[in-house]
């Protein structure tokens, strides 16, 4: 499976690395454009040109994560249900190894995309206004820290909540990819219009998981009660972990159950009902 992942990373890098480099270039151009616009020049033409650079940078940042997901899904579809499926599935590897390698590769590129996005925004701010934005962010950080201290929330609790949020984000990303894989596995059962069938399956699965998610959310809210009023107080000691931990565990279990279901369904369909016609 390591060789397959290496092949996937190499294939994906042909698209993703140029996209990352282009994003970095746009962040520099956008930052220089913003600095020019803030300098007070009167040229209307230059203002339009530099304004376009800033707009292009903003659009690229907004679409970068979406592009990553779309490309990862397109790679999975082409190699498991599309033109490259016959060649891919004749490799001496199991279906589970194919799914796991593509899932891990997609996760790696998604996390790298997040880092590139943060770095691009930081470059834009640094080039456009120097250290001023970071001074503002630093001031906001210390104000938030002061508010948290007034509520009696320790640094350990904050670190735990951040860890819980990061874990849930990763689990949700895995669920999203496995949902799409399952939809593709269902869609490839059709002898015609496999792509349309996959899209329809994805829509149906999304509706179902949203309904189940709403039920889980209601159950969690009823269990933990209304805790929002504590943040309206100026000073009080609260054990916020007693509030966040049930939420974290509930959605963690829910996410893991969805991962197991979608993985089993997609793996089973590709193993027993593969249709490459």
pLDDT, tens digit, 9 for 90 and up, residues 57-107: 889 888 898 999 999 998 888 888 777 777 777 777 888 888 999 999 999
On the question of pLDDT at 208 being above 50, the answer is yes
Query: 260 is written with which tokens?
Result: 């197991």
Query: 39 is written with which tokens?
Result: 């300098």
Query: 3 is written with which tokens?
Result: 């060789």
Which of 187, 188, 183, 173 has the alpha carbon at shortest distance from 207? Answer: 183
Cα 171 from chain centroid?
10
Q: How far apart are CA 129 and CA 133, in angstroms?
A: 7
Query: 202 is written with which tokens?
Result: 């994805």
79 Cβ contact list (under 8 Å, min separation 6): 85, 88, 98, 102
Q: How far apart are CA 36 and CA 33, in angstroms?
A: 5
Which of 152, 141, 142 has the alpha carbon at shortest distance from 230? Answer: 152
pTM of the full structure = 0.82
The predicted structure's pLDDT at residue 235: 47
Q: How far apart are CA 268 and CA 216, in angstroms?
A: 27
Per-residue pLDDT band for 154 (boundaries 50, 70, 90) equals: confident
Cβ atoms of residues 81 and 194 within 8 Å: yes
Q: How far apart are CA 246 and CA 248, in angstroms?
A: 5
Q: Give just the sign of the alpha carbon dihedral 91, 93, 99, 100.
A: negative
On the question of pLDDT at 26 being above 50, the answer is yes
Q: How far apart are CA 268 and CA 167, in angstroms?
A: 27
Q: How far apart are CA 248 and CA 256, in angstroms?
A: 12
On the question of pLDDT at 228 being above 60, the answer is no
On the question of pLDDT at 277 being above 70, the answer is no
SS3 172: helix
The rounded mean pLDDT for the chain is 83
On the question of pLDDT at 229 being above 60, the answer is no
The more confidently predicted of residues 224 and 21 is 21
The predicted structure's pLDDT at residue 202: 93
Q: How far apart are CA 136 and CA 251, in angstroms?
A: 34
Mean pLDDT of 222-251: 67
């Amino acid at each position: 499976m390591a060789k397959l992942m290496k092949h996937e990373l190499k294939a994906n890098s042909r698209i993703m690395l140029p996209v990352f480099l282009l994003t970095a270039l746009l962040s520099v151009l956008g930052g220089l454009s913003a600095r020019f616009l803030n300098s007070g020049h009167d040229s209307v033409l230059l203002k339009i040109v530099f304004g376009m650079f800033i707009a292009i940078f903003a659009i690229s940042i907004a679409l970068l994560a979406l592009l990553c997901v779309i490309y990862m899904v397109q790679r999975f579809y082409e190699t498991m249900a599309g033109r490259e499926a016959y060649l891919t599935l004749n490799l001496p590897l199991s279906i589970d190894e194919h799914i796991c390698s593509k899932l891990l590769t997609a996760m790696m590129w998604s996390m790298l995309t997040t880092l590139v996005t943060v770095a691009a925004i930081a470059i834009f701010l640094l080039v456009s206004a120097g250290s001023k934005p970071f001074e503002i962010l630093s001031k906001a950080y210390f104000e938030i820290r002061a508010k948290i201290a007034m509520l009696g929330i320790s640094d350990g609790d904050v670190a735990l909540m951040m860890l819980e949020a990061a874990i849930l984000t990763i689990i949700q990303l895995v669920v999203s990819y496995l949902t799409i894989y399952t939809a593709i596995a269902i869609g490839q059962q059709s002898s015609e219009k496999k792509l349309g069938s996959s899209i329809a399956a994805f829509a149906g699965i999304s509706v179902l998981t949203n309904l189940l998610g709403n039920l889980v959310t209601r159950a969690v809210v009823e269990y933990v009660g209304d805790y929002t009023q504590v943040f309206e107080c100026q000073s009080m000691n609260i054990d916020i972990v007693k509030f966040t931990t049930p939420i974290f565990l509930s959605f963690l279990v829910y996410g893991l159950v969805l991962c197991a279901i979608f993985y089993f369904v997609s793996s089973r369909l590709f193993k027993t009902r593969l249709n490459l016609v």
